[in-house]
Each structure stands twice: as structure tokens, then as C-alpha cells.
A = this chain, B = another copy of it.
Amino acid sequence: MQVTTLCLGALVFGEATGYEINKMFEDGPFSHFLDASYGSIYPALTRLTDEGLVTCKAEQQERRPDKKIYALTDRGRQSLSEALHTPLAEDKFRSEFLFAVLFADLLPRSRVVELVDQRLAAMKAKTEELATKDPGDTPGMDFARLYGHAVYSASVSFLENNRHLIEDIAVDDKPQEAPREVHTHV
């Protein structure tokens, strides 16, 4: 599924500029399970306009570049519907963290601990973010949000309960990197 189709989906929620569509992928309703950036969104909107799937009206602004407001046409809405009736790609998951974990036995324990701590913090933040319901959300957004919350919660639990599995296979830190003044503790 290409960025053009994703843009059609974005415009179902109302007319928008390329800038606003980009925000939907960065912060908005798409941010947790889709990706697209300026480099693909602007060309996509041009293509869609050429094909008559969206309309573009330029709004003049003082001392600013014109704002181009895009809106779905009937053909655009139909094109999205067709895309949603053809087989969808499987979910894709990419994790450099799990890649690194495969080589935990080559890393110092402190680095593995750091990686787990970072991942755990990131996942907790996402879990919390997805815990609060926004009244403006559609039922579909609610479902996606709850889905994400369930998955990230499971992720956090797993990491907390099993981090020792990889931390214990990491190599010991070099002595000189650890504090030496243990004897002063007495």
C-alpha cells in the first residue's frame, strides 16, 4: 500500500494540507502504525490531483507560501474503498533492539542494561500515551489505541520479567569501568 492510498485515508477525516497530513503520521492517529514523510507525501498529493482523486484549492496567505488545501473527490473515496477490499499486506515489525539482543553475549553488561532501560522507558511512555481516550477519536481510532495499549503493556511486562535472560549472558564490565572505592563503604 503506497503513500497515495494513505493520503486518501487521511483526507477521509476532512480536507487538509500536506503539512497537516504529515502531522497525522508524526503525532496524529496514524503515528503508531504507519510511516510517511514530506518526501513522499507532497509528490503523492500531486499525483492524486493529476489523477482526479483529490482536489486542490490554493489559499493565499500574506507573507507566507500559499496553503494548498486538498480534499477527496468521489473517485478518490471509491479508490480508497477498492484498496481496502484488496488483500492487505501483513503487519511489519522492525526492531533494532531485538537485533542487538541477538548479540548480547558480545556486549558489556552495562550496555545491555542500558538498552533494556531505554526500551522499557519508551514502551512505558507509549503505553501511557495510549491509555487516555481523546473524545474526538472515531471508534476505529479507539480500537487501534486499545490494541496498541494491549500490545505495549504485554511488551513492558515481558521485558520486566525476562530482562535477566539477556543481561546474564552479557560479558562482565571491565573492572576499571566500575567504581573502585568499595572499601570506603565500611
Contact = CB atoms under 8 A, between A and B. Distances in A.
Contacts of A30: 99
A93 B96 contact: no
Interface of A: 1, 6, 9, 12, 29-30, 32-35, 80-81, 84-85, 88-107, 111, 115, 119, 122, 138-144, 146-147, 150-151, 153-155, 157-159, 162, 165-166, 169
Contact of A166 (B35, B100, B140, B169): B140
A165 B139 contact: yes
15 contacts: A9-B99, A33-B95, A34-B99, A85-B107, A85-B111, A91-B95, A93-B93, A102-B141, A105-B140, A139-B165, A142-B165, A143-B165, A143-B166, A147-B155, A151-B151
A89 B96 CA distance: 6
Contacts of A139: 104-105, 165-166, 169
A142 B140 CA distance: 35
Best-buried of A34, A141, A153 by chain B (most CB within 10 Å): A34
Given A102-B138, A151-B158, A162-B146, A84 B107 contact: yes
Nearest to A100: B84
Nearest to A154: B154
B105 A84 contact: no
A159 B148 CA distance: 11
B150 A105 contact: no
